């Protein structure tokens, strides 16, 4: 492959597979990496990014999970847009340097209605899983809290049983993950979120669609305001 196709910036910190993922996403988004193009080998990626093989493998697994990379026994390739229709939308948003506030607006419009729909379709098993995630969110470990938070919202999307809405949400979720991780570092954010997730679960358990929609909307509005407080304050703008 030509040298201009793949031009990473060496990483100075250890175990930053998410940074590798971000850089490769950027290369796909701006066309430096083309659909069906073979990526460098793991050894070449290790050298290019100045990281170990475990970090590279974690990054490749994440890219595969996102649908941006496909792998066989020996090689990794950039996937074709035709194989993942929403991938083109996702990459377009990345290229345009999306506005995070607009993503939260989209989330506000989508998730309340999905919570209402989920009340009609959520299974008892899914309700139990949501309750377990609520317990997991009580952890003082921020990473465990974040994993449970992401899984909680994703499970409600699955419970709504609408594949189109679910795939739309995946685009928003992936693009918002960095912002969500930033505000989740604050104890006020986690405490507020825990209480609101519990209220959403209670509405789902009662299969009260109006309450579920109202509480989900309240939750997202709270996260918007807390993001303004902790991320967008003067002197702390992105």
The structural domains of the chain, with segments of one domain joined by +, span 17-84, 98-230
* Average pLDDT value for residue range 176-200: 93
User: Crossing angle for the helix pair 42-49 and 53-65, nearest 10 degrees?
Assistant: 110
* Average pLDDT value for residue range 165-169: 84
Q: 98-230, what's its fold? A: 1.20.120
**Rounded distance, CA 202 to CA 207, Å?**
8
Give me the DSSP letters along 79-106: PPGGGSHHHHHHHHHHHTT--HHHHHHH
Q: Is the pLDDT of residue 233 over 70?
A: no
- 66: buried, middle or exposed (CB in 10 Å: 19+, 13-18, 0-12)? middle
The predicted structure's pLDDT at residue 13: 46
Model pTM?
0.64
- Residue with tokens 């659909």, as numbered in its chain: 35
* pLDDT tens digits, one per residue of 104-148: 999 999 999 999 999 999 999 999 999 999 999 999 999 899 989
Q: 17-84, what's its fold? A: Arc Repressor Mutant, subunit A (1.10.10)
């Amino acid at each position: 492959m030509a040298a201009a196709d793949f031009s990473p910036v060496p990483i100075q910190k250890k175990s930053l597979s998410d940074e590798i993922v971000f850089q490769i996403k950027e290369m796909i988004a701006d066309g430096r990496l083309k659909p069906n193009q073979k990526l460098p080998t793991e050894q070449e990626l290790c050298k290019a990014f100045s990281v170990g093989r475990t970090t590279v493998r974690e990054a490749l697994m994440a890219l595969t999970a996102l649908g941006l990379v496909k792998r066989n026994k020996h090689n990794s390739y950039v996937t074709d847009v035709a194989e993942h229709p929403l991938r083109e939308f996702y990459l377009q948003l990345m290229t345009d340097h999306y506005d995070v506030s607009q993503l939260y607006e989209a989330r506000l419009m989508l998730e309340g209605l999905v919570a209402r729909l989920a009340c009609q379709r959520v299974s008892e098993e899914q309700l139990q899983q949501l309750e377990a995630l609520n317990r997991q969110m009580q952890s003082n470990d921020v990473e465990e809290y974040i994993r449970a938070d992401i899984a909680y919202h994703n499970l409600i999307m699955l419970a709504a049983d609408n594949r189109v809405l679910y795939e739309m949400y995946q685009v928003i979720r992936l693009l918002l993950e960095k912002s969500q991780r930033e505000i989740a570092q604050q104890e006020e954010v986690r405490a507020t979120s825990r209480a609101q997730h519990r209220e959403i679960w209670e509405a789902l358990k009662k299969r009260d669609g109006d309450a579920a929609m109202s509480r989900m909307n309240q939750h997202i509005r709270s996260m918007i305001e807390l993001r303004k407080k902790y991320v967008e304050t003067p002197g702390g703008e992105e």
